[in-house]
Amino acid sequence: MSVPRIVIALGVLSASLVIAPTAVAAPPTHTVHTADGLSCVFETQEGDFVFLVAGAGAGGSGSGMFVESPDGVLLLQGDGGSAVFGPTFSAVVTLVDPSTGEPVGDATVQATLTLGEPQVEVIRERSGNSWTRGTVTSSEYAVDVTSVTVPGYTVLPEAGDCNGDRIDFDLRTTNPSAQIFHDTRFDSAICPLDGLPDGAVLLRGALRAPRFEVVIDDGVDPLEASGELSLRGFSGTTTVPLLSRISGEPVADLTISVTLNRIGKRLHESIREGRITEWVSLVPYLASITVDTSDGSSGTTECFAEEVTRTTIIRPGGAG
């Protein structure tokens, strides 16, 4: 029997396995960086609200402010203001009328900042065959606002109007000469179930633990069931609720049994475009599936499926 090949449109997922690079890697990148942030919401005597956002880091520092009415109408706004972090915080923002674009004056905020106890997070992350290791240390600021001025307003600062933090990064990231990503997916066709009118089944995910979806759609009260099936020796059975798509309530129990049979040799394909090379490996299967429901319905199918492994290599610039 000639079996048509499925077109799998799920894309390459994030890497879960890694192949070591063969070329010489560049030295690791050491990132030591501190970032400060502060945000505030102030009430005013006039009833409107003042919002401040400020930050500082390796790229410099800055602040922005806007004033809104209680029903969300933007009354004043300003970007590109200054921000100075330290034991004493200060920010200056030029505000404009958004309806005219005309400046109305400078707003200022001053406060004292006290760092709290540091919280250290140890980082061990992998992206393809690149590793990042180190620490990220975060400390919350206790903020005591000493002065707020906004043109045309009397601001009423209170304790708790502001929150802020400092984050210290100390990370080393490897720089392999080529990034290598490896992903394996198992998918079947969407197969109608013989003996179960309007029924269809789909498998996807991992070969040894695929997720299944069963839909019985008569156009009036569509039903569905889904879950994960653990395969031992390429066979497995499980029972899950069969739910009404309209009400979400269970109408019966559904039992699904799956047996996978390999029906061909592993196929290989290689594609190269510029700095990117992709190897694709495919193993075809025929899934024998039986579905039974506790209300007496039953259906079977022989469903074509594939396990596809993709290995993507991205070489550095200049590698051709």
Is residue 94 domain-resident? Answer: yes
Distance CA 62, CA 184 (A): 45
284 and 309 co-located in one domain = yes
The yes-or-no verdict on residue 23 having pLDDT over 60 is no
The yes-or-no verdict on residue 317 having pLDDT over 50 is yes
The yes-or-no verdict on residue 166 having pLDDT over 50 is yes
User: 0.85 exceeded by the pTM?
Assistant: no
39 and 160 co-located in one domain = yes
| Domain around 45 | 29-175
User: Which residues have a Cβ under 8 Å from the Cβ of 149 and sit 6 or more positions away?
Assistant: 106, 107, 108, 155
Which among 175, 202, 226 is the end of a domain? 175
Is residue 13 domain-resident? Answer: no
Cβ–Cβ < 8 Å for 116, 139 = yes
Which DSSP category does 317 fall into?
Answer: T
> Average pLDDT, stretch 175-192?
81
145 and 54 co-located in one domain = yes
When pLDDT is cut at 50, 70 and 90, the band that residue 178 belongs to is: low
Distance CA 87, CA 112 (A): 6
How many structural domains is the chain composed of? 2
Highest mean pLDDT among 59-73, 138-152, 177-191: 138-152
User: Which residues have a Cβ under 8 Å from the Cβ of 59 and sit 6 or more positions away?
Assistant: none
Is residue 1 domain-resident? Answer: no
pLDDT at 19: 34
Which of the two residues, 255 and 173, has the higher pLDDT score? 255
Name which of 53, 65, 40 is nearest 157 in CA terms. Answer: 40
Is residue 303 domain-resident? Answer: yes
Is residue 24 domain-resident? Answer: no
Is residue 282 domain-resident? Answer: yes
